[in-house]
């Protein structure tokens, strides 16, 4: 009887251990809100017999804080260019083995040249989407005529005073960057003179700004709670596709040109699966499907050729070369960011 009990115990233990080893691999992804096709996540899970654990953030700063100061371990995150540089400097991200990314060759050479401005040779980052930052508005409350050849300084328009109908992004570089561009400087100019002029503009704008938020404007611009908001062009296109009473413009002074990228964290537990995911997303058909869903400009030439003519000619998504000449990519400015952050905190707490 004792032998039988021992046999049963060993059999059950082996069965439990065997079942435990069959648990699916998990890929931990941390991405911007509304920034990937859910169908593609499910498709990848099915193809690789894995589970994706997916969390979202609404600013580079919030992402970085969580990555650096919590126990949460992610495999893939999607920082913007200046934060890629910071993450490289802090040894937070992996140098990429491109032999594990066969679809790397699908990427646009012109966009890769832009990437090299902050990540030489794209050693650590793979472009995911690119776009611009401008102004979304409600046509019911702001006439389209008023938004033609509009300046960033419309944010200070007395029409909006005491109405709580204007918002800006919860992003220090984008907000201060807009004021720098309006004031005639590069959004990467951290000189005392440039920041002083930007602060003057921001203090005027802040009289109308009800909140700094990178997400809620997408709903509030439609229900009339917000009339005018600083916005990413892809988010604007998502809203416009659902509501023809919403418009989007790029101010005449110029705008931020940003690139968000895939990066693999140094402490990622599933690096091989992370490489498979990046390669899966760079596949032409998958990248095209994702671009159709997200509504941002795709940095993938193979996917771009699959887009319909209307999308390719959409100047909100793909601005003219002439306008892009007035756009700049955010660059890492090192310790000089301290003065910009002081302005940001003062504006936020004003």
Query: Length of the chain, please?
Result: 350
* 95 DSSP 8-state letter: P
Q: Does position 19 have pLDDT exceeding 80, yes or no?
A: no
Q: Are strands 50-57 and 25-32 parallel, antiparallel or unpaired?
A: parallel
| Residue whose pair of structure tokens reads 């002083």 in the numeric block | 196
The rounded distance, in Å, linking the Cα atoms of 293 and 286 is 11
What is the residue-averaged pLDDT of the chain?
Answer: 92
The rounded distance, in Å, linking the Cα atoms of 36 and 40 is 8
CATH 3.40.190.10 corresponds to the domain 131-257+327-348: yes
Which is nearest to 235 in space by CA: 295, 157, 154?
295
Interval 26-55: pLDDT, tens? 999 999 999 999 999 999 999 999 999 999
The rounded distance, in Å, linking the Cα atoms of 192 and 194 is 6
Which is nearest to 52 in space by CA: 20, 78, 30, 81?
30
* The CATH number, out of the four listed (3.30.70.20, 3.40.50.720, 3.40.190.10, 3.30.390.10), of the domain defined by the range 6-129+258-318: 3.40.190.10
Confidence at 274, pLDDT banded by 50, 70, 90:
very high
Q: Does position 8 have pLDDT exceeding 60, yes or no?
A: no
> Coil, helix or strand for 344?
helix
Q: Please, are residues 33 and 169 in contact by the beta-carbon 8 Å criterion?
A: no
The rounded distance, in Å, linking the Cα atoms of 66 and 62 is 6
Output the CA–CA distances (angstroms, integers) from residue 298 to 20, 71, 164, 179, 198, in the order listed: 40, 33, 35, 27, 31
Q: Does position 322 have pLDDT exceeding 80, yes or no?
A: yes
Q: What confidence score (pLDDT) does residue 164 get?
A: 97
Which is nearest to 224 in space by CA: 147, 137, 152, 133?
137
The rounded distance, in Å, linking the Cα atoms of 220 and 31 is 22
Lowest mean pLDDT among 7-11, 211-215, 286-290: 7-11
Interval 153-198: pLDDT, tens? 999 999 999 999 999 999 999 999 999 999 999 999 999 999 999 9
Lowest mean pLDDT among 9-23, 196-210, 241-255, 328-342: 9-23
The model carries a pTM of 0.81
Q: Please, are residues 33 and 189 in contact by the beta-carbon 8 Å criterion?
A: no
Q: Please, are residues 253 and 152 in contact by the beta-carbon 8 Å criterion?
A: yes
Q: What confidence score (pLDDT) does residue 349 get?
A: 87
The rounded distance, in Å, linking the Cα atoms of 328 and 124 is 21
**Where in the chain is CATH 3.40.190.10?**
6-129+258-318, 131-257+327-348
Interval 51-106: pLDDT, tens? 999 999 988 989 999 999 887 789 999 999 989 999 999 999 999 999 999 999 99
The rounded distance, in Å, linking the Cα atoms of 95 and 125 is 8
What would the DSSP string read from start to end of 126-184?
EEEEEEEEEEEEETTTS-GGGGTT--GGGGG-GGGTTS--EEE-S-HHHHHHHHHHHTT
Percentage of the residues of the chain whose pLDDT score is greater than 90: 83
pLDDT: is 167 or 19 the higher one? 167
The rounded distance, in Å, linking the Cα atoms of 140 and 136 is 12
Q: Does position 259 have pLDDT exceeding 80, yes or no?
A: yes
Output the CA–CA distances (angstroms, integers) from residue 350 to 51, 176, 205, in the order listed: 44, 15, 12
Which is nearest to 59 in space by CA: 195, 258, 239, 228?
258
Lowest mean pLDDT among 9-23, 158-172, 205-219: 9-23
Confidence at 21, pLDDT banded by 50, 70, 90:
low
């Amino acid at each position: 009887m004792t032998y039988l009990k021992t046999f049963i115990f060993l059999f059950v233990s082996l069965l439990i251990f065997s079942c435990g080893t069959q648990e699916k691999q998990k890929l931990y992804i941390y991405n911007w809100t509304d920034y990937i096709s859910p169908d593609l996540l499910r498709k990848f899970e099915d193809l690789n017999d894995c589970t994706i654990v997916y969390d979202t953030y609404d600013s580079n700063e919030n992402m970085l804080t969580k990555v650096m100061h919590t126990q949460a371990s992610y495999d893939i995150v999607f920082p913007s260019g200046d934060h890629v540089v910071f993450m490289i400097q802090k040894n937070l991200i992996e140098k990429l083995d491109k032999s594990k990314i066969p679809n790397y060759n699908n990427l646009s050479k012109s966009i890769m040249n832009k990437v090299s401005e902050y990540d030489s040779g794209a050693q650590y980052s793979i472009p995911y989407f690119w776009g611009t930052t401008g102004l979304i508005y409600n046509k019911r409350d702001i006439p389209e005529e008023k938004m033609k050849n509009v300046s960033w300084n419309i944010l200070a328009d007395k029409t909006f005073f005491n109405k709580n109908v204007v918002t800006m992004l919860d992003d220090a570089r984008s907000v201060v960057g807009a004021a720098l561009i309006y004031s005639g400087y590069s959004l990467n100019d951290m000189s005392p003179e440039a920041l002083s002029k930007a602060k003057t503009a921001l203090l005027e704008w802040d009289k109308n700004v009800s909140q700094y938020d990178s997400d809620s404007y997408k709903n509030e611009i439609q229900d009339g709670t917000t009339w005018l908001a600083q916005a990413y062009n892809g988010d604007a296109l998502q809203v416009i596709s659902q509501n023809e009473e919403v418009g989007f413009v790029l101010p005449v002074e110029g705008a931020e040109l940003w690139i968000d990228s895939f990066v693999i964290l140094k402490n990622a537990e599933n690096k091989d699966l992370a490489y498979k995911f990046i390669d899966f997303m760079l596949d032409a058909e998958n990248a095209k499907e994702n671009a159709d869903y997200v509504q941002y400009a795709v940095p993938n030439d193979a996917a771009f050729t699959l887009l319909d003519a209307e999308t390719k000619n959409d100047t909100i998504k793909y601005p003219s070369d002439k306008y892009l000449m007035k756009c700049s990519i955010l660059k890492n400015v090192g310790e000089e960011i301290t003065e910009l952050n002081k302005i940001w905190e003062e504006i936020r707490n004003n």
